[in-house]
Homo-oligomer: A and B are copies of this chain.
Amino acid sequence: MVLSIGDLSRRTGVKVPTIRYYESIGLLPAPARSDGGQRRYGRAHLERLGFVRHARDLGFEIEAIRELLAMAEDREGACGEAHAITRAHLADVEDRIARLSALRDELRAMLACDNGTVAQCRIIEVLADHEQCLHERH
């Protein structure tokens, strides 16, 4: 299997410039080149990029993915660290959900007024005065 960067892009859903970017930061190994200097990929690249893509979709940061990739290479190694990374990420996601939910409530409350003039508008008023918020901390 020999793939151009465009083929790899279509197969993984990762854009061409992003693939080159990943190579530049060392997340993907530099592939072989054609006589004319174009990148030629194989199955290993396809799988590795699929892994990266998937982890990015799941919201892992590049540095975390770098560590996960290193672990994935060592199939006999312990996966404790992968759990630690995932737990940390989960905690972060849960925190973001909590903060966004509070924010959603705030925004809904702000919308609970008729469209009148700015002088009567809760949105402008709330933004100008934190005291009117539902929560002390958003």
Contacts and interface: CB of A to CB of B under 8 A. Distances in A.
B51 A119 contact: no
Interface of A: 47, 50-51, 54-55, 57-59, 68, 71-72, 74-80, 82-83, 86-87, 89-90, 93-94, 96-97, 100-101, 103-104, 106-108, 110-111, 115-121, 123-124, 126-128, 130, 138
Choose among A100, A101, A118, A130 the residue with the greatest number of B CB atoms under 10 Å from its CB. A118
Contacts of A58: 103, 106-107, 127, 138
Please give me the 6 A-B residue pairs with the lowest Cβ-Cβ distance, nearest first.
Answer: A79-B121, A90-B107, A75-B119, A82-B123, A80-B115, A72-B124
A130 B108 CA distance: 36
Contacts of A89: 107
A90 B104 contact: yes
A111 B55 CA distance: 14
Nearest to A85: B123
Given A72-B124, A93-B107, A115 B78 contact: yes
